[in-house]
Each structure stands twice: as structure tokens, then as C-alpha cells.
Amino acid sequence: MQNTTQQLNDTLISKSLTTADYVPTLDAMLARTLARIDLKKQQGLRTPDELWIVDHNDVYTLGQAGKEEHILQRTNTPIIKTDRGGQVTWHGHGQLVIYWLFDLNSLGWSVRNLVSHAEQAIEDVINDCLQNPASSDTTAISAHARRDAPGVYLYADTSVADDKMMLGKMASLGFKIKHGFSYHGIALNLNCDLSAFNAINPCGYAGMQMLRLSDFTAMQKESDEQTGEALSYEQVTQKLIDNIAKRHAGLIELRALAPK
């Protein structure tokens, strides 16, 4: 597992982890969060918040209240019980995972603010990427969050005014809050193999269609040279990091929440 650290602003750093196993990453994330909590309680120190950009080795994770019945078949992929919210999901190569290690009280954010910022950052980036479609299909497709089910979903315009048809889910969320500090975060499917989701009810929703960005916008394959208009995994990652950093700095305000 390799990692690099980058200073994004005075109070935010990013840390990139490649080919990361889940349990050591979770242990490190929890240890860092507990250390930050202790520094704040004992010394009143505000430590920089952290974004962990993670490329996970294949794993299924089951949230704190996760139900085993949402695992439809056992495969060779490990199943790890974890302490985030939500049900079961998959992480692996071609999926962008970003963990938000934020001091919510210092930011003045509620848990609802955190979730909304996460969803809206993903919406912004997906909708920006969709300006460069993967096909000649002229159907207008856009990304939106839902009040009734955390995450970000793709919708296609229909012939009925203001009516949109949900195509499926492209990004999942699951956070844990401890003494006002968040950890865990978001997972966005870029160019991963979606067949891993066939073994589960993703996030506890039977029949939920999971989507990936590369089916809706031109994205490079790993072996490709940087050519033409096709987006790379790294470019999409940087777009999302930039958006989150602006929100963290107060430069992007929350929009009104999605209707129920």
C-alpha cells in the first residue's frame, strides 16, 4: 500500500492510498480520529481535517446495522463488518472512495450538512462529466440525491414535463460520527466491474441498479494514453477533491435539499 499526502489549504490535507486492504485502512482511520479527538479535548487543538483518497482491494462491507440477508451469495471476496452507517456495499478497483475525516464542530456543520455537502459535491462532478457523453444518445441525463435514500442517482428526462426516470445509483454514502468528528465517507463508481454488486442488495435495496460513470461519459481505460476528450480516473478524482476542498473552505454553499 503506497500513500502520498498533499496540503489542500490551511485546515485540510489529502492522503492517497493505493491497493489498500480494508481492515488496516479502517484501523488507521479510527486511530487518527481518536487521536484528533484526544488532542482537541486535552489541549484544545484543532488539527487539519483529512480527505483519504482510497483505491481499495475488493471487499464487501456491512454497516453497523447491516443485515446478513442482503448478502445474496458468498464469493471469494471478503465480507467485513464495519462501524459506518448503512447496509452492505462493495469497494474495489475502478471505484473512487473518499473518506472524510472532518471536525464538524470546528466547521460549524451538522451531520445533515455533512451528508448534503457530500451528495452535492458528487452531483456537481458527475453533472460536469456528463457534459462529455459516451454515446450519441441525446437523452438528457443528470445526477441527483434523494431525501429518502442517501447516495447519488442518475435520472433521464422523459417526455412528461418535469418528470424524470431513475436509471440507478452511481454513488453511495456511509459516515460514522464520534464526538463531533466524522470518518468513513463516499464511494463513486467510475470504471469498475459492476458485476460485484450482483452478489448483494446494494445498500439494502433489492434490485437496485448500480451504475458507473464510464458508461455515460467518455473515460479512458487504464492502458490508454492521454488522448482526446476522454476523462481519466485521476481527472475525475481531482475534480471531486477540488469541489470538496472549496466546500470545506466555505466557498461553495449548500443548495436547497432534494425534495422527498
Least-confidence region, from 24-33, 95-104, 216-225:
216-225
Q: What is the pLDDT of residues 7-43, one digit of tens each?
A: 999 999 999 999 999 999 999 999 999 999 999 999 9
Q: Would you list which residues are annotated within the binding site for substrate? A: 84-91, 172-174, 185-187
The mean predicted confidence, pLDDT, of the chain is 92
pLDDT for 95 beyond 80: yes
202 CB contacts (<8 Å, ≥6 apart)?
88, 89, 90, 169, 172, 208, 210
pLDDT score recorded for residue 122:
98
User: In percent, how much of the chain has pLDDT > 90?
Assistant: 79
Give me the architecture of the 4-135+169-249 domain, per CATH: 2-Layer Sandwich (3.30)
Give the pLDDT mean for 187-204. Answer: 96
The DSSP-derived string for the chain is -EEEEEEEETTEEEEEEEEE-HHHHHHHHHHHHHHHHHHHHHH---PPEEEEEEEEPSEEEE-TT--GGGB-S--SS-EEE-SSSSSEEEE-TTEEEEEEE-BHHHHT--HHHHHHHHHHHHHHHHHHHTTSBSSS----EEEEE-SSS-SEEEEEE-SSTT-EEEEEEEEEEEEEEETTEEEEEEEEESS--GGGGGGB-GGG-TTPPB--GGGTB-B--TT--S-TTPBPHHHHHHHHHHHHHHHHTT-SPPPPPPP-
Catalytic residue at 203?
yes
In the block, which residue shows the cell 463488518?
81
pLDDT score recorded for residue 37:
98
Domain ranges, ordered by start, for the chain: 4-135+169-249
pLDDT score recorded for residue 83:
95
Q: What is the pLDDT of residues 126-173, one digit of tens each?
A: 999 998 766 656 578 999 999 888 999 999 987 666 678 999 999 999
Q: What is the pLDDT of residues 37-75, one digit of tens each?
A: 999 999 999 999 999 999 999 999 999 988 999 999 999
- Among 114, 129, 190, 203, the active-site one is 203
Give the C-alpha separation, 207 to 38, whole Å. 43
